[in-house]
Amino acid sequence: MSIISNLNEVAQILKSMDYIYILTHSFPDGDALGSAFVLCRALQKIGKRVRIKFDHDIPRKFNFLNDYIDHDNFKPPDYIISVDLATDSLLDDGLQRYASRIDMCIDHHFSNTKYASLNYIDSTASANCEIIYDLLNIMGIELDKEMAQGLYLGITGDTGCFRYSNTTAKTHYIAAKLMEHDIKFSEINDKFFSLKSKKILDIERILYQNMTYFADNKIAMSYVTYKNITDLGIDEHECDGIASIPIRIEGVQVGAVFRQKSTGEYKVSIRTIEGINANAIASMFDGGGHYKAAGFNLPNEPVENLLKLVSDKIIEHMNW
């Protein structure tokens, strides 16, 4: 459980590894997949045997990454690296057996629990892909167009297309360097920020219908049941963007979306405005995440009770 604060050291250690599995969080987003994909491809380029390990299929929109994912038996890995994984409990259930033996963690979550033998955490990076960009530079591994696209995907994803306050001058600098590789940035941004399937619009309609306000409209919460999701035939992964719907309502300071999982439990996503720490709210329920975006799980109970439970805690926490 030690901390590495120098990326040069990470580079040195990676060079000494072989037969590596790369793991990331369940419901992987662009940053998780971009980090895993680019690191995998980079290490393969210098002759390492590496696979990304998943328990579930990844969302269809990320299909271009599939070649790098190990669905067969590799061999038992000698090393395990995690990327964009704040805590080992966020691994897919089928990967929990690796949780206790992660050698290296490369992450940008402020809430990272330092579960690996060696932990490199830079919470000033808007996206984990920023760290991977620096790392490959240090290692002298040249980016190709696919890698530049993977990194751009992670950065634009975690900054909400360069809108969130985690965006820095360095974020733009790296994005500019990536654009020199002739990447399809416009297509990527359209695909991830504008295009919506009819099914997603249907699930959004349900969210708007279920919207509930607390604390003088400072809190807005909504939910979708597992039945809603399966009735519409939606792949659970496709719902990622719905978490930010309540916080877009004018005057709302804390937004939450409760999404029921197949187990009946609810995955709660918290979004906050500047000045309110979403991570602190999620921590009250044993969750975590970023300053303005965090999450936690709640047991299978009537959703009205859960909304009330969470809003009461937030009201108390905020002194509202």
Considering only residues 17, 22, 31, 88, which one is a binding residue for Mn ion as defined by CB under 5 A?
A: 31
Cβ closer to Mn ion: 31 or 88? 31
Q: Is 128 in the site for Mn ion (CB under 5 A)?
A: yes
# residues near Mn ion by CB under 5 A? 4
Burial of 293 (0-12, 13-18, 19+ CB in 10 A): buried
Cα(36)–Cα(117) distance, rounded to whole angstroms? 19
Cβ closer to Mn ion: 225 or 244? 244
Q: How far is the CB of 292 from Mn ion (least distance, A)?
A: 13
Cβ closer to Mn ion: 154 or 221? 154
* Run of H or E residues at 219: strand 219-224
Q: How far is the CB of 236 from Mn ion (least distance, A)?
A: 19
Cβ closer to Mn ion: 223 or 288? 288
Which residues have C-beta within 8 Å of that of residue 155, sequence separation ≥ 6?
31, 34, 126, 127, 129, 130, 171, 174, 175, 178
Give Cα 301 distance to the centre of its chain.
Answer: 26
Q: How many CB atoms lie within 10 A of CB 123?
A: 14
Degrees (nearest 5) of the Cα angle 143, 145, 151? 70
Q: How far is the CB of 153 from Mn ion (least distance, A)?
A: 11
Q: How far is the CB of 120 from Mn ion (least distance, A)?
A: 14
Cβ closer to Mn ion: 160 or 172? 160
Q: Is 268 helix (H, G, I), strand (E, B) or coil?
A: strand
Q: Are 65 and 35 in contact (CB under 8 A)?
A: no
Cβ closer to Mn ion: 158 or 236? 158
Question: Binding segment for Mn ion among 67-75, 98-106, 127-135, 272-280 (CB under 5 A)?
Answer: 127-135
Q: How far is the CB of 47 from Mn ion (least distance, A)?
A: 28
User: Interface residues for Mn ion in 133-192 (CB under 5 A)?
Assistant: 158
Question: Binding segment for Mn ion among 37-45, 77-85, 87-95, 178-186 (CB under 5 A)?
Answer: 77-85
Question: Binding segment for Mn ion among 78-86, 199-207, 221-229, 305-313 (CB under 5 A)?
Answer: 78-86
Q: Is 84 in the site for Mn ion (CB under 5 A)?
A: yes
Q: Are 222 and 258 in contact (CB under 8 A)?
A: yes
Q: How far is the CB of 25 from Mn ion (least distance, A)?
A: 9
Q: Are 223 and 208 in contact (CB under 8 A)?
A: no
Beta bridge partners of 296: 268
Query: Taken in order 162, 163, 165, 169, is the CA torsion positive or negative?
Result: positive
Q: Are 279 and 254 in contact (CB under 8 A)?
A: no
Q: How far is the CB of 197 from Mn ion (least distance, A)?
A: 24
Cβ closer to Mn ion: 84 or 236? 84
Q: How far is the CB of 112 from Mn ion (least distance, A)?
A: 11
Q: Which residue is nearest to Mn ion (CB)?
A: 31
The one-character DSSP state at 190 is I
Interacting residues toward Mn ion by CB under 5 A: 31, 84, 128, 158
